[in-house]
Amino acid sequence: MRFQFILSEIGIGLRRNLSMTISVILVTFVSLTFVGAAVLTQMQIAKFKGEWYDKVEISVYLCPQGSTVPTCASGEATTEQIEAVEDLLASPDVASEIQSTTFESKADAWVTFSDQFADRWWFNSVSEDDMNASFRIKLTDPEEYEVINDVLSGRPGVEEVRDQRQIFEPIFLVLTRMTLLSAGLAGVMLLAAVLLITTTIRLSALSRKRETGIMRLVGASTFFIQLPFMLEGAIAATVGALLAVGGLWIGVKYLIEDWLGQSVQWIPYVTTSDVWIIAPVLIGVAFLLAAISSIVTLSRYTKV
């Protein structure tokens, strides 16, 4: 009987404040969508780093003909200079940071270059003599790039030391900024959701002040009186959270998996499984919003 009464009170409250309830649902939906987007973006960065950071290499480009770099003033890297670099990489202090080293000759570089760019109009203007011989170094810890850079940069015969991670850093920077933007917008929208839920509960409590007064007179507990109002806010917030989960699932499924996943296949993308992982978090945030709003409002507006 009490359960049926609570359900009827919830129904009455939702009908009396229908427009406000819809507003709560929409604001919660938008705010939690931004929260979910921020979390998914961080998961994307983690996937990308986990997939590629351990695979990236340091490329030590040796001097080719005609280079204007000061360390190449004597011309193309000589056999002695190349052997000096090899000896340095094999020294105990440096070798401990290296997992593997591969030497790529000018002929090897020309073969790779030809495979990639033979169909370009400018290909015939380039020859094997324009290629750089290089060392490809895979580090034990990719974060220790500066160790190799400090040792090899500026040595005779070395034109450039390049960390392949530099290719990905701009991507990570853009994704991080997108995360911060999403988090900022989510914070603003979450505040708006709290205020709307608070207003909805307050209006519902004021519109039923006479009923709550009667309930108090017949001995109803404070919790029993406040429970319908709490559940109204929780239901509206939960519906908004479910809509946010659905929106994120659709976005990941059709924009990322079906579109980006088919267009650029070498990147490990977030998937709909990741959306289901964060779904409980979003629903939990929705309950937290409702709880905060209820605590702020009910202690004041359900007093008789």
Q: pLDDT tens-digit profile of 102-131?
A: 888 888 888 888 887 777 777 788 887 778
Residue ranges of domains in the chain, CATH in brackets: 2-52+169-301 (no CATH), 58-163 (3.30.70.3040)
C-alpha closest to that of 42 among 237, 277, 287: 277
Q: Which backbone phi and psi does 142 adopt, to 5 degrees?
A: -60, -20
Identify the pLDDT of residue 300. Answer: 57
Q: What is the mean pLDDT of residues 33-55?
A: 78
Q: What is the mean pLDDT of residues 249-264?
A: 84
C-alpha–C-alpha distance, residues 124 and 113, integer Å: 12
pLDDT of 1 above 70: no
Identify the pLDDT of residue 302. Answer: 47
Identify the pLDDT of residue 17. Answer: 60
Identify the pLDDT of residue 247. Answer: 92
Half-sphere exposure in the Cβ direction for 262 (13 Å, CA): 7
Question: Which residues face 117 on adjacent strands?
Answer: none
Q: What is the mean pLDDT of residues 205-211?
A: 58
In the DSSP assignment, the letter for residue 119 is: T
**Ranges 44-48, 217-221, 230-234, 290-294, most confident:** 44-48
Which residue would you say has higher pLDDT here, 279 or 78? 279
pLDDT of 241 above 80: yes
Q: What is the mean pLDDT of residues 237-265?
A: 86
User: Which of the four pLDDT bands, split at 50, 70 and 90, describes residue 205?
Assistant: low
Identify the pLDDT of residue 79. Answer: 86
C-alpha–C-alpha distance, residues 221 and 235, integer Å: 22
**CB 173 within 8 Å of CB 61:** no
235-263 core/surface letters (b: 16 or more CB in 10 A; e: else)? bbbbbbbbbbbebbbebbeeebeeeebee
- Rg (alpha carbons) of the chain, rounded to whole number: 31
Tokens of 78: 């000589």
User: Which of the four pLDDT bands, split at 50, 70 and 90, describes residue 154?
Assistant: confident
- Cα dist from 260 to 8, 43, 167, 275, whole Å: 48, 16, 20, 17
Identify the pLDDT of residue 47. Answer: 79
Q: What is the mean pLDDT of residues 10-15?
A: 53
Identify the pLDDT of residue 246. Answer: 93
Q: Each residue of 69-87: pLDDT tens digit? A: 888 888 888 888 888 888 8
Identify the pLDDT of residue 242. Answer: 93
pLDDT of 276 above 90: yes
pTM of the complete model = 0.61
**Ranges 137-141, 171-175, 210-214, 239-243, most confident:** 239-243
Task: Judge residue 36's burial from the number of C-beta atoms within 10 Å of its C-beta, 0-12 exposed, 13-18 middle, 19 or more buried.
Answer: buried
